[in-house]
Structure 1
Amino acid sequence: MGKMMPSQKRTRSSKAPVHFEDFETSANLKRSRIKKTQIKRNVSSEPNALLMLSLFSGEKKEVELTGREKAVLTRKTRVLMTGLGIDNMETRDYIPSTLDRTDLVAVKPVNLLQAFGGRGLFATQDIAQGTVIGIYTGEVFDSVPAFDAYKAEHPGADDSYSMTVAGRIVDAARKGNFTRYINFSDTQDNMEFIEGHIKGRKVVLVRAIKDIMAGQQFLVNYNTHEERNSKLYFFLNPSDGWLSAEELHQQHQDSYQPFTIHINLEELGVTEGDDYQLTQAGAAVINSESLSDIMDLNPADIDLPQLKLNLNGQVLDFNTADAFTPLQLACYLGQVDNVAFLLAQGANKDYHQNNSGQFPLSLALAGYAQSPGNENKYMTVLNLLVFHQANIFAHDRLDRTFVQQAISVLSDRHFAALLNTVKSRKDINELFAYVDENDHDVVLYSIKCKAFNKLGLLLELNPEYFEKTFDSGNTNDARAFESAVEGYTSQQKRALYSMLTRGGQSLPPSVMNELEVSNTRGFSYNR
């Protein structure tokens, strides 16, 4: 995977899309078991035999290949890899599967990741939701300790290509098939890992969870977390491809026009006087024009990014200057009608700026905060986005989800209205699972912000929060609560205790101890 967008935020419970009790990959067809007394690679010592068994699924037995057969197999594999666009693997390391849809995919460099040779997997034709493109293959380790031991012995090894499945590890860092090139996204994933069966063997299928257009990048949620990722790496979108910003501009030259921005757009990284190449939709939004009145607006241009120019009039590349979409701009400016129009046209409601990480929901919140007196129109924008299933768990570089950001921005009345919209969604149960860089979920974040009215609303939605969330033996929970009430006075702690227990709820000992509760008389919380 290399360096890419941030990994999934920590959660209080494992949130893999599908949990697998067991799995098999093509690398398991012939392998050496890892013993407790001896750590060694859990793969076949004869990769060419592996390839034979993978390419020709009718084989029932392991076979010894002659020199000629190995040469033929190597040529077949090289042709396969060349057709896919893979030029940075040895043929002996490629482990295909019987389900690989090589007709649907291609491996290409990702322009945004060019500094470190990053590649991605792209659709070569439109792919329908539910399509299986292949099996995730790689070297298999029987246990997490075995993989940890391997990493300790090999300084360059890490978790970038590994997947934990029911205590076992499949690692595609050196060996695997084209699925190893799928980059990561925990906000715009369009693929998933799911258990399947091939002739009695359990396998890890790679399946589309959304319709994917030709040219879009495959993204998958690996459900792992590294502290540094949200701080350092790019946010990736399905539209982030192999073209540079200038190449994209040239390819769609008829859709762009030079434009000097006449206002400051701080959250988008735009300063008054900056020169851009804007699309027709982008220019209309900047000029506060109605998109629905433009008769010749090309729907294919809806998600084209607005491109910044340097002082010489050259298009700046994506890793240098953040681009933005017309929808992001309309959300930031609170243009209700244009937001509704763009959403109806299928605009990407979760598009992230690669560097800043801003997305439509976060930009609408920023506009709300910066436009006193116009809060209602921004609330309409937020409700439109939520209604159209924008990802409410999209996060910023501090790992704060949209809902956590809303806690610190919206008024109590508007937060209540937003929560009323959010709670009708199917993914509402995940609301309390995501935590920020300080291990604060929405409840602890409300406590940290002293947003007690919002805290009350959240606890009404989840009255058993403390009972379900806090494990008496989990020191991480205790530390998270401790940091949430850091800076509280004794009186504030007692008032918080009064609020948390006003419905007769009991609190875990770690919370009681941190609140220094001995006598709560005279302290109360009034909502």
Structure 2
Amino acid sequence: MPHSEKRKKKTPSKLDDYETSFSHENRQGSKLKHTKQKERKARDIGLFFFSNPEKNKYQTSTSKKNLVKKQFLTALGIDNMKPADYIASPLDQNDSVAVTPVNLLKKQGGRGLFAKQYIPAGTCIGVYTGVVFESQKDFDLYFKENPNADNAYTMNVGAKVVDGAIQGNFTRYINFSDSQPNTMFVEGILNRRKVAKVMTTRDLYEGEQLLIDYNQYSEDFSKKYFFLNPEDGMYSAKEIRDINCEEYTLMEMTADIDALQIKENDFVYATTIGNVILQNGRLSRLEIMPDQSALDLPFLKTSRFKVILDFDEADNFTPLMLACYAGQLENVDWLTNQKVNINRQQHHSGNCPLFLALDGYADGGINDRAIYREIIQLLIKKEANILIHDRADMTFIHKAISVLSTRDFKSILTLIQEQEHILFSDLFTYLDESDLDILFYCLNTKFFDKAKILLDMFPDYFNESSKNKQQKFHCKKEFKNAISDYNEVDKSDLMRILGDSKYNVPAEFLDALTSNEEEQPSYSL
């Protein structure tokens, strides 16, 4: 089940109803031991989604039914469930998906769910099933009485809790990603009961891994687990080279690239596409067009003995990532027109094409900035995910604050505000590892000019962040955290901005600039 990323997130308003109906609690990676206590408790207080015994018209023996079910599980690729534990639903698209080991997660025995064929956007691939507890209280009691239990597979459906840890269907194998989800949970009704449907959010193609965002927070997510991509499958880095041996060539790097953890004289395996980018060539001049499947094949790093390092050992990178870092605007345009994954992340760092364009901007000269700005603008127009994050929970905007010039920052923010696929207020809903959203990150790093740009574009920030006493308390606490090391000059500079009446900054926040008093929480009306 999901190897999740840590993400601190304020719930966007457009997800309020979704969050109320569906939550996935404390995603963690350990396996749940199948104890007799669990079986007894489930029988005592739980129901089963779609698992009531069917009337046996022909008196088929239990052993024969289990054999048929075992063959069914084998066809799905499931080898770690008992036939009696599989709970199907009438909406399951069994022929469209398969469970397959994920090489990146091999040390944990990790598996994932993959498309076996083209699946259109908006398809219900199945219903999330499992043991049903009548209330959260019942599940909490069970969890307390079973210390070895794992709550990584629980989901709230209305007032009930569905636990897919041991019993469930193939949907329990969908791994987590809040950066590249291609499925989502949608509340539905089936047989007059509320259920959680799993719906595709975009077209999926054969071989792609299904990923889902549980919209939850865990302290471990970004710190301990890999960043997963739809392309991550069962093959090791060496096997990918072997399968595509005609594409790959061993190349020696001629310079250090710190952003990609590459040193001069390192050897990497590069594809035809990768070689053109390494040599600063033009992909548009290729005489023979590579197969679509080869366009996004990553560079493969090697050890000092030229042995290919596997994906869990080293951060590999794609041709698009390198083209973005190298400032090759024409090649970035060519690759994005070929529909390569513009959101693909490095498994360890979480870096993606947008982040590497920022790294190139930072490492290049002033005269190079225009090219990198154009690359960033191109990626945004192609609907790159600007809410993608790294190990420190830094989103693209968090990073851009420290990297871009004020002029370029405003230009990029203006473009983002114009995009119909982006809700501008969502930019303010993600917190970094220090609990700072993008505005408070500006204040903490004392980029006052960029803070003013953000407030000018979203003047309702303080109104939206202080709708009730609890929200206002947390917002004020984060505000105090952001300005904790201010001197009198800093406070005066910030007061000149926040004192503008068009921002509707509550008096308590302005008072915080002159007060060191610790406020205690009070949520009463």
Which of the numbers 435, 454, 467 marks the counterpart of 2:463? 467
Structure 2 CA distance for aligned equivalents of residues 189 and 443 of structure 1: 26
Aligned-pair CA distance for 1:201: 3.0
Q: How does 1:319-334 map to 2 (within 5 A)?
A: 319-334=312-327
Match of residue 506 from structure 2: 508
CA distance change for structure 1 residues 129 and 324 in 2, over 3 Å: closer, same or farther?
same
The TM-score, its normalising length taken from structure 1, stands at 0.88
Aligned-pair CA distance for 1:14: 6.9
Structure 1 CA distance for aligned equivalents of residues 307 and 503 of structure 2: 62
Give deviations 1:125-177, integer Å, cap 9, x for gaps.
12221221111111223333433333222223344222234454322111110
Q: Output the amino acid matched with 1:363.
A: L
Q: Output the amino acid matched with 2:324.
A: C
CA distance change for structure 1 residues 393 and 478 in 2, over 3 Å: closer, same or farther?
same
Match of residue 202 from structure 1: 194
Match of residue 484 from structure 2: 486
Give deviations 1:235-282, integer Å, cap 9, x for gaps.
000000001111111111111111111111111111111111100111
Give deviations 1:323-345, integer Å, cap 9, x for gaps.
11000000011110000000001
Match of residue 147 from structure 2: 155
Give deviations 1:467-499, integer Å, cap 9, x for gaps.
110343344323211110011013322331231
Q: How does 1:169-180 map to 2 (within 5 A)?
A: 169-180=161-172
Q: Output the amino acid matched with 1:420.
A: T
Which of the numbers 120, 123, 126 marks the counterpart of 2:112? 120
The TM-score, its normalising length taken from structure 2, stands at 0.88
Aligned-pair CA distance for 1:42: 7.5
Which of the numbers 412, 422, 434 marks the counterpart of 1:418? 412
Secondary structure of 1:277's counterpart equals strand
Contact 1:119 1:181 in 2 (8 A): yes
Structure 2 CA distance for aligned equivalents of residues 233 and 438 of structure 1: 19
Q: Output the amino acid matched with 2:337.
A: A
Match of residue 35 from structure 1: none
Query: How high is the sequence identity, in percent, across the aligned residues?
Result: 38
Structure 2 CA distance for aligned equivalents of residues 164 and 445 of structure 1: 33
Which of the numbers 295, 298, 307 marks the counterpart of 1:314? 307
Aligned residues between the structures: 493
Q: How does 1:366-445 map to 2 (within 5 A)?
A: 366-373=359-366, 374-425=368-419, 426-427=421-422, 428-445=424-441
Give the alignment's Cα RMSD to 1 decimal: 2.5
Asked if 1:278 corresponds to 2:270, the answer is yes
CA distance change for structure 1 residues 270 and 20 in 2, over 3 Å: closer, same or farther?
closer
Secondary structure of 1:50's counterpart equals coil
Aligned-pair CA distance for 1:504: 4.7
Structure 2 CA distance for aligned equivalents of residues 165 and 227 of structure 1: 24
Q: Output the amino acid matched with 1:323.
A: N
Structure 1 CA distance for aligned equivalents of residues 354 and 458 of structure 2: 24
Aligned-pair CA distance for 1:197: 2.7
CA distance change for structure 1 residues 149 and 512 in 2, over 3 Å: closer, same or farther?
farther
Structure 1 CA distance for aligned equivalents of residues 47 and 224 of structure 2: 39
CA distance change for structure 1 residues 52 and 98 in 2, over 3 Å: closer, same or farther?
farther
Contact 2:248 2:272 in 1 (8 A): yes
Match of residue 261 from structure 2: 269
Give deviations 1:346-383, integer Å, cap 9, x for gaps.
11100100011110000000110111221111001100
Contact 2:209 2:230 in 1 (8 A): yes
Structure 2 CA distance for aligned equivalents of residues 83 and 277 of structure 1: 35
Structure 1 CA distance for aligned equivalents of residues 352 and 333 of structure 2: 16
Structure 2 CA distance for aligned equivalents of residues 331 and 338 of structure 1: 9
CA distance change for structure 1 residues 46 and 204 in 2, over 3 Å: closer, same or farther?
closer
Q: Output the amino acid matched with 2:348.
A: N
Aligned-pair CA distance for 1:16: 4.7
Match of residue 447 from structure 1: 443
Match of residue 60 from structure 1: none
Q: Output the amino acid matched with 1:407.
A: I
Q: Output the amino acid matched with 2:129.
A: T
CA distance change for structure 1 residues 401 and 279 in 2, over 3 Å: closer, same or farther?
same
Match of residue 302 from structure 1: 295
CA distance change for structure 1 residues 85 and 18 in 2, over 3 Å: closer, same or farther?
farther
Structure 2 CA distance for aligned equivalents of residues 130 and 90 of structure 1: 31
Q: Higher mean Cα deviation, 161-170 or 63-72?
A: 63-72
Contact 1:309 1:316 in 2 (8 A): yes
Q: Output the amino acid matched with 1:9.
A: K
Q: Output the amino acid matched with 1:115.
A: K
Structure 2 CA distance for aligned equivalents of residues 43 and 324 of structure 1: 51
Match of residue 522 from structure 2: none
Contact 1:280 1:297 in 2 (8 A): no
CA distance change for structure 1 residues 225 and 517 in 2, over 3 Å: closer, same or farther?
closer
Asked if 1:130 corresponds to 2:150, the answer is no
Structure 2 CA distance for aligned equivalents of residues 238 and 170 of structure 1: 26
Structure 1 CA distance for aligned equivalents of residues 269 and 43 of structure 2: 53
Contact 1:21 1:165 in 2 (8 A): no
